[in-house]
């Protein structure tokens, strides 16, 4: 492949060593001292150029994994598909990779499956070859520790300035080689506010369905990155736009087609927005809460179907959640503690309807009460539950014991004994949802 290198001198770019983690610098200098080439590469260079703090620092070198291991005592070799070195400094890990080679056909160390997906890739090479393995031009910039230049073989710097995500090589081929690149395209577009190059957009439309060939465990990892990176809402919109969301969450996508007057999309949008807001405020977000929001509409639809045959609401919601989750984990393998929490959040929802007697105080002590209550608030805000019910629970939690007893005492006049609701109130969750006023 043609490689016209362009070097950006220190005076031509904004990357300063003060922005680079001390441990990454140690690794780079140590490799250099041992006579190897050493570069920062990928997302960290891209982010440093934007003045953003990189999530992690990736180093690339001409030393092979065994040589890297000899240089660092605190080093572990990992990976099968890509053999890599992890250099450990307490909690920080610096990933050190060897330049990868290029020629797929000539080397049996590189294996493609029948859809053109790369399964094994352990051919070492030079920096010129390594470039072509990278996904986007802006992810293929190398910061050289020897002279602090940025090395660019693919016009990545120009694209970076233009805020453009452009695939290296033919977009469709690159997506077929590794369909996760499609999710990365969307993730970077949302996170960095970059545009997707028109060729990349076209290839997304034509190749989206290939995503289902990715193992469910890897898809789950990517889903977490997509929705916990602070741009979940935009990510969601882009995934839907390119037909990727329906591959990741088929039942949710199907439920979205039933939306009326903005339901249930509004609920999901609000959940995503809240999550982004929390991240922006430096608060933590739990994956299971957001994932439960994805599952909620399909769970609710199925539960309503099952309830026609009767049964305890809580148990029916549990069954519905089990059913919906067991289908979802075939696509995105979620760990058990996550699915358990999701099921609880969903099946607690009908329990919030009981406001009389001992049930409310029992619900308050449920380990998942807080998440369930937050979920209820979200439903109430978006027309899926009675706002008065949510407000009652807000008051109930903050009330003292005496007040709580009064709040849950059965009032017979004009009220339903079981729920404490006025007789003529029809629960929106059991009827066509009404927008909040
Ligand atoms: P971030 O860490 O901010 O999520 P990143 O671009 O650093 O983004 P990593 O997964 O850390 O993403 O990967 C580091 C680099 O490795 C990328 O910038 C890219 O050059 C290369 N890379 C990672 N995954 C792929 C892939 N699926 N296909 C091609 N290149 C990849
Ligand atoms: Mg990275």
Contacts of 197 (CB under 8 A, 6+ apart): 164, 165, 166, 167, 171
Q: 151 C-alpha vs ligand 2 centroid, how far in Å?
A: 18
Q: If pLDDT is split at 50, 70 and 90, which confidence band does 429 have?
A: very low
Q: If pLDDT is split at 50, 70 and 90, which confidence band does 423 have?
A: very low
Say if residue 260's pLDDT is above 70. Answer: no
Could you tell me if 156 and 141 are in contact, meaning their C-beta atoms sit under 8 angstroms apart?
A: yes
Could you tell me if 42 and 139 are in contact, meaning their C-beta atoms sit under 8 angstroms apart?
A: yes
Say if residue 245's pLDDT is above 90. Answer: yes
Residue percentage of the chain with pLDDT more than 90: 81
Distance between CA atoms of 290 and 248, rounded to whole angstroms? Answer: 14
Question: Which ligand number lies closest to the CA of residue 229?
Answer: 1
Within 42-180, strands assigned E span 58-61, 75-78, 84-89, 92-98, 110-112, 118-121, 141-144, 150-152, 164-165
Q: Please provide the DSSP assignment of 327-350 as one string.
A: HHHHHS---HHHHHHHHHHHHHGG
Question: Which ligand number lies closest to the CA of residue 167?
Answer: 1
Q: If pLDDT is split at 50, 70 and 90, which confidence band does 410 have?
A: confident
Measured CA angle at 187 (ends 274, 58), to 5 deg:
115
Residue 355: closest CA among 286, 431, 415, 315: 415
Nearest residue by C-alpha to atom 11 in ligand 1: 43
Q: If pLDDT is split at 50, 70 and 90, which confidence band does 431 have?
A: very low
Could you tell me if 428 and 386 are in contact, meaning their C-beta atoms sit under 8 angstroms apart?
A: yes
User: Which residues surround the ion ligand 2 when the cut-off is CB under 5 Å?
Assistant: 43, 56
Distance between CA atoms of 401 and 112, rounded to whole angstroms? Answer: 66
Strand 84-89 relative to strand 75-78, pairing: antiparallel
pLDDT tens digits, one per residue of 285-306? 999 999 999 999 999 999 999 9
* Ligand 1 atom index nearest CA of 187: 4
Active site residues per annotation: 56, 58, 135
Q: If pLDDT is split at 50, 70 and 90, which confidence band does 424 have?
A: very low
* pLDDT for position 112: 67
What value does the mean pLDDT take over residues 380-387?
93
pLDDT tens digits, one per residue of 143-200? 999 999 999 999 999 999 999 999 999 999 999 999 999 999 999 999 999 999 999 9
Residue 264: closest CA among 272, 360, 96: 272
pLDDT, the chain, mean: 90
Residue 165: closest CA among 130, 189, 133: 189
pTM given for the model:
0.88
Say if residue 113's pLDDT is above 60. Answer: yes
Which residues approach ligand 1 with their CB closer than 6 A?
42-43, 55-56, 58, 134-135, 139-140, 178, 180-181
- Tokens 């070195």 — which residue? 85
* pLDDT for position 234: 97
Neighbours of 216 (CB within 10 A): 14
* pLDDT for position 109: 54
Q: 70 C-alpha vs ligand 1 centroid, how far in Å?
A: 26
Distance between CA atoms of 370 and 280, rounded to whole angstroms? Answer: 21
Q: If pLDDT is split at 50, 70 and 90, which confidence band does 116 have?
A: low
| Alpha-carbon distances, residue 201 vs 180, 196, 240 (angstroms) | 15, 6, 13
Pocket residue to mutate for ligand 1, from 92, 98, 132, 134, most atoms within 8 A of Cβ = 134
* pLDDT for position 101: 85
Say if residue 108's pLDDT is above 60. Answer: no
- Spell out the domains of the chain, with CATH numbers in brackets: 1-166 (3.30.460.10), 244-410 (1.10.3090.10)
* pLDDT for position 15: 97
Q: 366 C-alpha vs ligand 1 centroid, how far in Å?
A: 41
* Ligand 1 atom index nearest CA of 178: 27
What value does the mean pLDDT take over residues 14-42?
97
Give Cα 276 distance to the centre of its chain.
12
| Alpha-carbon distances, residue 25 vs 145, 275, 388 (angstroms) | 8, 34, 57
* pLDDT for position 123: 80
What value does the mean pLDDT take over residues 267-285?
95
* Ligand 1 atom index nearest CA of 229: 4
Which one of 108-117, 288-297, 413-422 scores highest in mean pLDDT?
A: 288-297
- Between residues 48 and 260, the one the model is more confident about: 48
- Tokens 């060897």 — which residue? 98
């Amino acid at each position: 492949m043609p490689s016209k290198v362009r070097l950006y001198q220190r005076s031509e770019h904004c990357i300063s060593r003060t922005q680079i983690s001390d441990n990454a610098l140690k690794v780079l200098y140590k490799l250099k001292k041992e006579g190897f080439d050493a570069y920062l590469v990928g997302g960290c260079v891209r982010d440093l150029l934007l003045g953003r703090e990189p999530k992690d620092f990736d180093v690339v070198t001409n030393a092979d994994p065994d040589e890297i291991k000899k240089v660092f005592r605190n080093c572990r070799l990992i990976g099968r598909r890509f053999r890599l070195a992890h250099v450990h400094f307490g909690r920080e890990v610096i990933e050190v990779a060897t330049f990868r080679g290029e020629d797929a056909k000539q080397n049996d160390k590189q294996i493609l499956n029948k859809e053109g997906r790369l399964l094994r890739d352990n051919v070492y090479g030079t920096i010129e070859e390594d470039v072509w393995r990278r996904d986007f031009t802006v992810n293929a910039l190398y910061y050289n520790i020897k002279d602090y230049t940025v090395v660019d073989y693919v016009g990545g710097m120009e694209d970076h300035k233009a805020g453009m995500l452009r695939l290296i090589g033919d977009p469709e081929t690159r997506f077929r080689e590794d369909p996760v690149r499609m999710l990365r395209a969307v993730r970077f577009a949302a996170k960095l506010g970059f545009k997707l190059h028109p060729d990349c957009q076209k290839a997304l439309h034509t190749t989206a369905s290939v995503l289902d060939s990715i193992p469910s465990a890897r898809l789950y990892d990517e889903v977490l990155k997509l929705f916990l990176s602070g741009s979940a809402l935009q990510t969601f919109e882009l995934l839907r736009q390119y037909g990727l969301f329906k591959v990741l969450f088929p039942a949710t996508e199907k439920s979205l087609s039933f939306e009326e007057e903005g339901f249930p999309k509004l609920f999901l949008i609000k959940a995503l927005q809240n999550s982004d807001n929390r991240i922006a405020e430096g608060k933590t977000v739990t994956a299971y809460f957001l994932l439960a929001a994805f599952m909620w509409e399909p769970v609710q639809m199925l539960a309503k179907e099952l309830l026609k045959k009767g049964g305890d609401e809580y148990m029916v919601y549990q069954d519905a959640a089990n059913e919906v989750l067991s289908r979802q984990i075939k696509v995105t393998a979620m760990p058990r503690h996550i699915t358990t929490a999701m099921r609880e959040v969903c099946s607690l929802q009908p329990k919030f309807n009981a406001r009389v007697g001992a049930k409310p105080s029992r619900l308050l002590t449920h380990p998942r009460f807080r998440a369930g209550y937050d979920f209820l608030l979200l439903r109430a805000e978006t027309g899926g539950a009675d706002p008065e019910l949510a407000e009652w629970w807000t008051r109930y939690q903050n009330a003292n014991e005496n007040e709580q007893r009064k709040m849950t005492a059965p009032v017979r006049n004009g009220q339903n004994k079981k729920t404490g609701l006025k007789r003529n109130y029809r629960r929106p969750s059991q009827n066509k949802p009404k927008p909040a006023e």
